[in-house]
Structure 1
């Protein structure tokens, strides 16, 4: 029996683990770039409300705000009360969605098999196995950070992070994941025209 077909599920599982990363994107109002560059002070919008208590609860809200405050303040922005005329307001939203991923593994990678290259092959005839498809269900979390111009009350910038959720992660790991997501989102703020 060839080793590769027996290892395929294990290798596929390792590939899933290795690919678990944060996908980040952002969008902004091009006409507001100069205005955004002048921002110095900010305040938080009210805590959002939602039906999914895994996302919309005081613990997650506090973690998101703590991570965003640490990043913004380390980059020269000053947090003020909403009544102190901040330059911009920041808010967040989140969601958890069920996803399905399917991958097909072809034992022979699409080229003819020659047993002389296989150190595990003991001779005899080789049966070509058919490709196998592995289906995996998982949950994907999405975090949005919105920047709203305080004077016009217009949304001028939005950042988004998406990543697979590990329901078994400990509190420290969850905080670390939120910190990393917020940091990667805010690294795109303020927008730099011409860069994606």
Structure 2
């Protein structure tokens, strides 16, 4: 019983060591910064400046997400002349990424005949890795908020992540990235 638990624990640990780096590699990178001297509590209206997105659909999605998140913080959108002006720039470019594939002939756990008879245990073998370079489409979104009268940058959120061939996944990723940006916004959502 102890031995099978140990084998299971080692198997799970090995699996996690292989999978967790992959999950991190495909997670979008979110960065934010803001003017620590600005009094964000004094702002309560915003307008949109130019939203430069890869498609009109994404421009609308960006506006809707930002509007919702600012309204949750007590801010109100006005067509022009808001105390803060929000701009967004989204661009897509290709980046070279290295992909490494393993042939699966390396070590692992298994059952078989050994020096001590039949049993379970670690095994070894020769493995081979092949690394190739691939072009990956990468989406870069920057959302800026400026004080409308002084034109000073108040807040910036930047998201960078791989683009999928699945448009639903890309849409979900865009909304998720904007929400993660505003998780670090100086004004927290109001309690309802």
TM > 0.5: yes
Contact 1:46 1:91 in 2 (8 A): yes
Match 1:151 to one of 149, 164, 180: 149
Residue 98 of structure 2 is aligned to residue 102 of structure 1: yes
Cα distance, 1:19 vs structure 2: 3.8
Cα distance, 1:121 vs structure 2: 6.6
**Unpaired segments ≥5 residues, structure 1:** 1-10, 49-54
Match 2:54 to one of 53, 56, 65: 56
Contact 2:105 2:125 in 1 (8 A): no
RCO higher in 1 or 2 (8 Å CA, sep ≥ 6)?
1
Which structure 2 residues correspond to residues 23-62 of structure 1 after superposition, within 5 A?
23-31=29-37, 33-34=38-39, 36-48=40-52, 55-62=53-60
Given the superposition, is the C-alpha separation of residues 163 and 152 from structure 1 closer, same or farther in structure 2, using an over 3 Å criterion? same
SS in structure 2 at match of 1:37: helix
- Supply the distance in 2 between the matched residues of 1:14 and 1:135 (Cα, whole angstroms): 21
More strand by share: 2
Contact 2:89 2:142 in 1 (8 A): yes
Residue 162 of structure 1 corresponds to which residue in structure 2?
Answer: 160
Residue 117 of structure 2 is aligned to residue 119 of structure 1: no
Cα distance, 1:87 vs structure 2: 1.4
The runs of at least 4 consecutive aligned structure 1 residues that moved more than 4 Å come to: 11-15, 103-109, 120-123
Q: Deviations over 1:45-91 (max 9, x none)?
A: 1343xxxxxx4332111111011111111221111121xx4210001
Given the superposition, is the C-alpha separation of residues 149 and 181 from structure 1 closer, same or farther in structure 2, using an over 3 Å criterion? same
Question: Between Structure 1 and Structure 2, how many residues are aligned?
Answer: 164
- TM-score computed with the length of structure 2 as normaliser: 0.68
Given the superposition, is the C-alpha separation of residues 121 and 191 from structure 1 closer, same or farther in structure 2, using an over 3 Å criterion? farther
- TM-score computed with the length of structure 1 as normaliser: 0.67
- Supply the distance in 2 between the matched residues of 1:129 and 1:122 (Cα, whole angstroms): 22
- Supply the distance in 2 between the matched residues of 1:57 and 1:105 (Cα, whole angstroms): 34
SS in structure 1 at match of 2:142: strand
Match 2:87 to one of 76, 91, 115: 91
